[in-house]
Amino acid sequence: MEMLSGAEMVVRALQDEGVEYIFGYPGGSVLHIYDALFQQDSVSHILVRHEQAATHAADGYARATGKPGVVMVTSGPGATNAITGLATAFMDSIPMIVLSGQVRSDWIGDDAFQETDMIGVSRPVVKHSFMVRDAKDIPEIMKKAFYIATTGRPGPVLIDIPKDQTAPNVKNPYEYPKKVKMRSYAPVSRGHSGQIRKAVEELMKAKRPVIYAGGGVIQGEGSELLTKLAHRLNFPVTNTLMGLGCFPGTDPQNVGMLGMHGTYEANMTMHSSDVILAVGARLDDRVTNNVKKFCPGAKIIHIDIDPATISKNIMAHIPIVGPVHQVLEEMLTMLDEHGGEPDRKALERWWEEIEGWRKVHGMRYETNENGPMKPQQVVQALYKATKGDAYVTSDVGQHQMFAAQYYQYDKPRRWINSGGLGTMGFGLPAAMGVQFAFPDATVACVTGEGSIQMNIQELSTCLQYGLPVKIININNQALGMVRQWQDMQYGGRHSQSYMESLPDFVALAEAYGHVGMKITKFEDLEGAMDEAFALKDRLVFMDIYVDSTEHVYPMQIADGSMRDMWLSKTERT
Amino acid sequence: MRRIISILMENEPGALSRVIGLFSQRGYNIESLSVAPTEDSTLSRLTLTTFGNDLKIEQITKHLNKLIEVVKLVDLTEGAHIERELMLIKVKATGAQRAEVKRSVDIFRGQIVDVTSTVYTVQLTGASDKLDAFIGAIGETQVLEVVRSGVSGISRGEKVLSL
C-alpha cells in the first residue's frame, strides 16, 4: 500500500473526491498541506484575499454546480474568519467542506499562537465536524465528511487538522474508502408511500391549491419533476427566495415569489388556498408572517428531507419525509396509475381569482422622468442585457429583493443569494465561485454600495484569475433596507444608515486593474449594460446611482397574515 | 410536562458537547443530565430530563436524532418506565435530631453511610420526587449539602434501547 504523509493524504483524498477547486489562504498550521498541494496539479487552489471570501466562493461554486465547495484556512483567525461563511452555508443547506489548520496536538489547550477551539466555535453552524487525532484516520474522515456534507439535508462539514498530523516525515498507508457506513447516520432515502398516496388524494380534491416550492427543490434536483407535476395539475406555483428558478419564472403558472417581499398575487394565493403543497421549503418567518394567522383555510402537505423542518413552525397535515426528487417521482407515478384528475372546474374559478389579483396589483413601481433612476429599472435592464440567462449572485438588502422580484429565473441554480443568514459581502466572492465553475457563463453580481464594501478586496482575486464578473452596484448612497425600516417604523430617523464618504468606485475598480463605469442617468443605462456585457474577458464594475428614497414593495405588515401588505408608501391591503 | 429522554450515542470526544450545545442553541432546558459508557465501550448512554409540550419534545427528539453521533434515542416517559436518581445528603444530626433523622432515613429506605458526632451522610435512591420528599421531611434548615446524580431510566418489560 502507498505510504503518504497526512498532508499528502488530505490532497490525495481531495483528488479521489474529484475536487476541482479549493478556495483558501495559507498560514502556519496548514503549510505542510500547502506544500503537498504545490506538488500536484489536479486540484487548483484559489488564493482569496480574506478567508470569509473563500467560504462564500466555495459556497457559490456549490450552489451553481450542486457539487460540494471546498475551503482551506489556517488556525486561529483564519479559521474564525470562515465562521460567517460556514453559517451562511449551514442556513441554506449548502454542501461544503472546510479544512482548518490547528496548532500541533500537544499544544492544544495551551493558548498557543493562533490557537482557537475551532470545533467549539463552529459547532452551532456546521452539520458535523471532525478533529484529526491520528493521521491514519485522514482517509476515513475525509470520506465521511464528503458523505455527510452531500447527503440528506446537505450542509457544511469542518475538519480540524493539527499541524503534527500532516508532518511530511510521518508516513502511513493510504487507501481511500470506497464506501462509508455509519451506524448513527442514515439519511432517509424514500418517502412513505402511504403518505404520498394521501397527499395525492388531497391534491385531487383541492379547489384552491398552491404549490409552494423552496430551495430544497433545487438542492434535491427536483426542478424538472416539480415543473412536470405543476403542469400536469395546472396548479399555481410560488417560489421562496431560495427556490427561485426551480419552476420557470416566466411560466404563466408562476405567481412569483411569496413572503415578506413576495408578489401580491403569491401572498393572496397562499392566504386563500385550501391545500398547500410545500416542497423543500421550511415555512420560515420571512414567509409565514404571524404563524397564528397563517393561511387559515389550508391543509398543508409538507415534503422535506429533514424531519425537523416539518411541523417546526406550522403543523403539517400530511408530512412526507424524503428526498424531493424521489417523492415527486412517486407522486407523478401515482397520478398516472390513479388516472386522477384535479377538480378542473374549481381550478378554472381559482385561476380567474388569481388573474384578478395579478391585474389589480402586479409588480410595479413609479418612475420619474426628470428624477433619479429607480433600482428596479437597473434589474430590468440587467435582465434585458443578459437575455435572462445569467448567473446572478447578490448581496443583502433592497437590491437583493429587487433582483429577486424583477429578474425572472427560468432555470435552477441561476439565482445565488444568502437567503437564510442574510450575509452582506456574499455576492462578489460567490460570483467568483460561479465563474470558476462556468468560465464561459455570464455572471452578474447585483450588489449595493454597502454590501460590496464588505468583501471588496476580492477585486484583487478577480484580477489574479481573470474572472470577468460584472458587478452591478445599485448605489443609493444609503443602507437601503435599514433606511426603509427606519422610514416605516422609526419615524424616518435614519440612524447610521447613511453611507457617507463613498469611494470613487470607478477609480477603485481601475486601481484593481478592472473596468469601472459610473451611470447616473436612465438613458445611459441600457447602452452601458450592453457595453459592459460585451467586454467578455474583463471584470466591469458598474456604479449605478439610483433613487435613495425607494422602498421595496409589496411588504408584509409585521404580525399580520400573509395577505396583509403594504403595496406602496401609501396603499395597503 | 417533564420528560426523560435516553440517548445511545457514540462514545467519542465532543459528542456530549453537541448534545448540550443543541439545548442551549435552540433555547431548550436541561433539568438533569447523567452520562456514562455502556457495556459496549464504543457507546455512551445519556439520560436527560427536560420540560416541554408535545410539540417542543418532538422538535427536541428530531434535532437530537439529527446529531451525527446520536445512534438511537427514546422518550422514556412515553411508556412504562423505571426512573432512579441517587442522592448523597449531609444533614445536621445533633441532640433529638439524631433519632429523628434516623427514623426518616428508615422510612425512606435510605442508608446512613457516614457518621460524625454532629452530621449524618445519607444515601438515598429513588425517583426524583421521592428525593425531594426526603429533603422536605428532614427540613431544609437541617440540610448541609446535597449532591444528586441526575435521573437514570430504563423502560419496563421487554423493550430495550440497544443497537
The mean per-residue pLDDT over the stretch A13-29 comes to 98
- Is-catalytic flag, A113? yes
Write down the pTM of the prediction.
Answer: 0.96
Q: What pLDDT was estimated at residue B64?
A: 97
Residue B17 lies in a domain: yes
Q: What is the pLDDT of residue A337?
A: 87
Would B146 be classed as within a structural domain? yes
Portion of chain B with pLDDT greater than 70, in percent? 100
A303–chain B nearest CA distance, Å: 16
Q: What is the pLDDT of residue B23?
A: 95
pLDDT of residue A362: 75
Please give the pLDDT value at position A360: 85
Which listed residue (A51, A202, A330, A550) is catalytic?
A51
Q: CB–CB of A74/A30 below 8 Å? A: yes
Q: Is the pLDDT of residue A242 over 80?
A: yes
Name the residue among B18, B62, B70 with its Cβ closest to that of A307.
B62
pLDDT tens digit sequence for A329-382: 999 999 988 777 899 999 999 999 999 999 987 788 999 888 899 999 999 999
pLDDT at position A176, please?
A: 97
Q: Is the pLDDT of residue A203 over 90?
A: yes
Q: What pLDDT is attached to residue B163?
A: 86
Query: Can you give the pLDDT at residue A115?
Result: 96
Asked if residue B132 and residue B147 are part of one domain, the reply reads yes
The CATH homologous superfamily to which domain A2-174 belongs is Thiamin diphosphate (ThDP)-binding fold, Pyr/PP domains (3.40.50.970)
Inter-chain touch B13–A131, beta carbons under 8 Å = yes
Q: Is A181 a catalytic residue?
A: no
* A193-360: CATH topology: Rossmann fold (3.40.50)
Using the 3D structure, point to which of B79, B102, B132 is the last residue of a domain: B79
ipTM: 0.92
Q: B94 with B136, same domain?
A: yes
pLDDT tens for A141-181 read 999 999 999 999 999 999 999 999 999 999 999 999 999 99
- The pLDDT score that the predictor gives to residue A363 is 84
Please tell me the distance from the alpha carbon of residue A197 to that of residue A335, in angstroms, as a whole number. 9
Indicate if the pLDDT at residue B71 is higher than 90. Answer: yes
Give yes or no: residues B8 and B75 share one domain: yes
Q: What is the mean pLDDT of residues A438-455?
A: 98
Write the DSSP string, B25-66. HTT----EEEEEE-SSTTEEEEEEEEE--HHHHHHHHHHHHH
User: Judging by DSSP bridges, how do beta strands A21-24 and A69-73 pair with one another?
Assistant: parallel
Q: What is the pLDDT of residues A412-433, one digit of tens each?
A: 999 999 999 999 999 999 999 9
B161 found inside a domain: no
Residues B98 and B146 in one domain: yes
Domain boundary among B59, B79, B99: B79
Query: Which of B36, B59, B79 delimits the end of a domain?
Result: B79
Predicted pLDDT at A341: 87
- Both B55 and B86 in one domain: the answer is no
Domain co-membership, B14 together with B30: yes
| Residue B64 shares a structural domain with residue B102 | no
Provide the pairing of β-strand A69-73 with A96-102: parallel
* Same domain membership, residue B50 and residue B8: yes
A323: preceding bond cis by omega (within 30 degrees): no
* Residue type for position A304: D
Structural domain harbouring B86: 82-152
Q: Report residue A473's pLDDT band, with 50, 70 and 90 as the boundaries.
A: very high
CA distance A330 to A196: 8
Please provide the distance, in angstroms rounded to a whole number, between the alpha carbons at the two ends of chain A.
Answer: 71
- Residue B66 has its nearest CB partner, among A124, A129, A308, at A308
DSSP three-state, residue A294: coil
- CB neighbours (10 Å) of residue B109? 11
Residue of A131, A148, A184 lying closest to B10 (CB–CB): A184
Q: Do A185 and B68 touch (CB under 8 A)?
A: yes
Range name among A334-338, A493-497, B152-156 with the lowest pLDDT average: A334-338
A438 is catalytic: no
Q: What is the mean pLDDT of residues A128-150?
A: 98
Where do the structural domains in chain A lie, given as residue ranges?
2-174, 193-360, 375-552
Work out the percent of chain A whose per-residue pLDDT is above 90: 96
Using beta carbons and an 8 Å cutoff, which residues of A are at the interface with B?
Answer: 119-120, 123-124, 127-129, 131, 133, 148, 182-185, 306-308, 311-312
CB contacts < 8 Å between A and B, how many? Answer: 36
CATH number of the domain at B88, please: 3.30.70.1150
CATH of range A375-552; options 3.30.1050.10, 3.40.50.300, 1.10.10.10, 3.40.50.970: 3.40.50.970
Is B59 in Cβ contact with A184 (below 8 Å)? Answer: no
Residue B132 belongs to some domain of the structure: yes
3-state helix, strand, coil in chain A (%, to 5): 40, 20, 40
